[in-house]
């Protein structure tokens, strides 16, 4: 027996920005309209479109009408659309901090819900925007802002709500993961692989936000806030990218049984929270170490559930649109619910957020990988290990390469057990003062996720 169709009024959607994700959102909403209605209990209809490219907007409006749905109204100015009484929710897919912020604020001021894929906007201005939405009794959905089609925001906010989250670690930037995968597979230097990534469309013409770790930092900032119930603190995150990573370090890591990934990491500590992005050695036996190409993965440790892993496409038209539409369905289900009954933006009730301290990078705890260029003479390794031991740092593994024929210097590679970064920095400063150490140390952090 089929279910009786709901008579609830439709959720009326205004799309602002009709690029890759906007086009995917239109495609998913129209193609899966019946499935969405069955899940949401009402129709979810695109009733308005806004884009500077009016030809594109008009063409999309005609495409919606061709499915039998009412033809959406087209706006040249998204701000006007955000005030339209025939729009219940504004989907912001424009990006950036400027116009997008004003658009979201305009929508909120007009009593509209907001769905956005704009991780940069929320990481930088989230506290302000979430507060404004709370005051107006509307919601901001942002599943699409982190890890594309992977429902990690919902998992942290709802699926794992019984847990005290201990840490979150993720490969959350597909561009850098593609580059590191290619460097490992082909042994090519960073610059060559970046050029190939740009040619294939994995990297932007200006890839700075990706390769310098900023994009990943935006995402881990949002996950940290949800995991630990704290305001967003992007400005306190420690951020390192992959531009200085050498192919030889990827090879040495492999010899030691590790792979190097750009990770966003946040950990609960007794005196605060770690919030950091950097290249990281991971044991190759861990599932997350085997995430290759442009794929994303997020590993979460909860006290009750243990380790959980979320894997999938972190970008792209329809994977990201999948997350946008999921937020729209959540809104449609709860459209008539009081504000107090909705899932809080950052998982915890707004008056229960804790202003936890973000620890300086010198206070984080990690294992370490050291590559040292040293003179090939007796006693060098003994001097280095003595300094580490005196600093309270124990060695887990090491490689001492035979020098090439005719050379009088070589590489020493060390892995340490977990210690505080401040200890490691002091030890390295002493090691670099040795006459037998010929260049600044290459230092990478190690996470075993044991």
Which residues are known to be catalytic? 219
> Tokens in use for 443?
């230092």
- Give the helix, strand, coil percentages of the chain, each rounded to 5: 40, 25, 35
Q: How far apart (Å, rounded) are the C-alpha atoms in residues 53 and 76?
A: 8
User: Contact at 8 Å (CB) between 323 and 117?
Assistant: yes
Q: How far apart (Å, rounded) are the C-alpha atoms in residues 395 and 222?
A: 35
Q: How far apart (Å, rounded) are the C-alpha atoms in residues 18 and 57?
A: 7
The region, left, alpha or beta by phi > 0 then psi within -120 to 50, assigned to residue 272 is left
The region, left, alpha or beta by phi > 0 then psi within -120 to 50, assigned to residue 379 is left
116 CB neighbour count, 10 Å cutoff:
28
* CA distance to 33, 59, 297, per residue, from 7 (Å): 16, 30, 40
Q: How far apart (Å, rounded) are the C-alpha atoms in residues 339 and 266?
A: 29
Among 119, 142, 139, 121, which residue's Cα sits nearest to residue 130? 139
Among 362, 176, 185, 391, which residue's Cα sits nearest to residue 276? 362
Query: Would you say how long the chain is, in residues?
Result: 450
Among 167, 198, 196, which residue's Cα sits nearest to residue 307? 167
DSSP, collapsed to helix, strand or coil, labels residue 395 as strand
311 CB neighbour count, 10 Å cutoff:
17
Q: How far apart (Å, rounded) are the C-alpha atoms in residues 399 and 384?
A: 13
Directed axis angle between helix 119-136 and helix 214-228, to 10°? 40
């Amino acid at each position: 027996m089929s279910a009786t169709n709901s008579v609830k009024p439709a959720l009326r959607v205004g799309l602002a920005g009709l690029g890759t994700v906007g086009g995917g959102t239109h495609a998913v909403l129209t193609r899966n309209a019946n499935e969405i209605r069955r899940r949401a209990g009402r129709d979810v209809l695109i009733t308005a479109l806004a884009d500077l490219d009016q030809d594109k907007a008009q063409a999309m409006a005609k495409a919606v009408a061709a499915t039998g749905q009412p033809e959406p109204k087209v706006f040249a100015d998204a701000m006007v659309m955000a005030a339209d009484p025939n729009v219940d929710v504004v989907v912001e897919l424009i990006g950036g901090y400027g116009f997008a912020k004003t658009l979201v604020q305009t929508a909120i001021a007009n009593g509209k819900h907001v769905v956005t894929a704009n991780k940069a906007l929320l990481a930088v201005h989230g506290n302000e925007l979430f507060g404004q939405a709370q005051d107006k009794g509307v919601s901001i959905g942002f599943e699409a802002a982190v890890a594309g089609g992977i429902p990690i925001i919902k998992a942290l906010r709802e699926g794992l709500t019984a847990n005290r989250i201990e840490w979150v670690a993720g490969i959350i930037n597909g561009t850098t993961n593609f580059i590191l995968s290619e460097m490992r597979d082909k042994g090519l230097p960073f610059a060559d692989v970046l050029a190939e990534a740009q040619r294939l469309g994995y990297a932007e013409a200006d890839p700075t936000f990706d390769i310098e770790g900023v994009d990943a930092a935006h995402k881990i900032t949002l996950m940290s806030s949800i995991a630990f119930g704290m305001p967003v603190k992007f400005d306190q995150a420690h951020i390192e990218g992959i531009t200085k990573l050498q192919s030889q370090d990827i090879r040495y890591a492999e010899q030691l049984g590790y792979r190097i990934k750009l990770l966003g990491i946040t950990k609960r500590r007794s005196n605060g929270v770690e919030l950091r992005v950097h290249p990281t050695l991971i044991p190759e036996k861990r599932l997350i170490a085997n995430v290759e190409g442009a794929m994303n993965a997020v590993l979460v440790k909860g006290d009750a559930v243990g380790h959980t892993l979320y894997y999938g496409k972190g970008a792209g038209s329809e994977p990201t649109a999948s997350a946008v539409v999921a937020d729209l369905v959540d809104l449609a289900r709860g459209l008539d619910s009081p504000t107090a009954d909705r899932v809080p933006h950052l998982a915890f009730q707004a008056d229960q957020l804790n202003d936890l301290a973000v620890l300086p990078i010198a206070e984080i705890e990690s294992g370490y990988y050291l590559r040292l260029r040293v003179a090939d003479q007796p006693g060098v390794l003994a001097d280095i290990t003595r300094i580490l031991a005196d600093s309270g740092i124990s060695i887990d593994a090491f490689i001492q390469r035979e020098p090439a024929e005719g050379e009088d210097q070589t590489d020493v590679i060390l892995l340490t057990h977990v210690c505080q970064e401040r200890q490691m920095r002091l030890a390295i400063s002493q090691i670099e003062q040795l006459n037998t150490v010929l260049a600044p140390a290459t230092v990478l952090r190690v996470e075993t996720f044991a």
